[in-house]
Amino acid sequence: MNDLDKQLAELVPRGVDGDSHAIGEIMRLIHPQVLRYSRARIGGYRQPTPEDVAQEICLAVATSIGGFKDTGRPFMAYVYGIAFNKVTDAHRAMGRDYSSPAEDLPETPDTEATPEEQAVIAAGSNEVRALLDNLNDKARDIVILRVFNGLSAEETAAIVGSTPGAVRVAQHRALAQLRKAVTGKNQTRTGKE
């Protein structure tokens, strides 16, 4: 059990009982994990943004924690189940037509990154996302949880409903598939076959 799981194991029962301080601590602990997951699954600067989706995930966890039942799986498995559904909702929302203009303009300019920096970040994110789209859903989730979120095979197995050995095999196959896709893409760019 990693440090995050230990902290959550202590806080979740209190959160289930309605302790608002414990719920706040749970949100503080899970937010970086769900943000990383959202960024890996959702494109750069589209609406909703990965940050919006991460916020939706945290809100859904906070409002549903009272009904959480401990089944022996890590609490993060519960969180990632909600995250999967929220990301699916976000993908549906991205397919809708948002051609009507916004009514409200921001009060202050965005000072986080220049348009050039945003374009470079989005291009890299889009390339990674396009590569991940070559994988089936389960393999993509395993790679995201293991590589991007740094979870162990045991933790990932609990989340995806598999065994640690099967997760390791699926990860190996998925990375080999990604390696092949990158190699093919690089050969196409350089004109080599």
pLDDT at 101: 56
Q: Which amino acid is at 33?
A: Q
* In the predicted structure, residue 44 carries a pLDDT above the cut 80: no
The highest-confidence range among 14-18, 43-47, 189-193, by mean pLDDT, is: 14-18
d(CA 40, CA 52): 14
| pLDDT bracket for residue 149 (50, 70, 90) | confident
pLDDT at 110: 62
| pLDDT bracket for residue 158 (50, 70, 90) | confident
Cis peptide before 48 (omega within 30 of 0): yes
The highest-confidence range among 23-32, 113-122, 142-151, by mean pLDDT, is: 23-32
* Model-wide pTM > 0.75: no
d(CA 74, CA 56): 21
Q: What phi and psi, each to the nearest 5 degrees, are found at residue 107?
A: -70, -35
Domain covering 1-99, topology: Rna Polymerase Sigma Factor; Chain: A (1.10.1740)
For domain 122-192, the question of CATH label 1.10.10.10 is answered with yes
* In the predicted structure, residue 123 carries a pLDDT above the cut 70: no
The highest-confidence range among 66-70, 88-92, 148-152, 184-188, by mean pLDDT, is: 66-70
* In the predicted structure, residue 111 carries a pLDDT above the cut 90: no
For the chain, the domains span 1-99, 122-192
Which residue in the block uniquely carries the two structure tokens 């194991």?
A: 9
Neighbours of 165 (CB within 10 A): 10
Mean per-residue pLDDT over the chain, rounded:
83
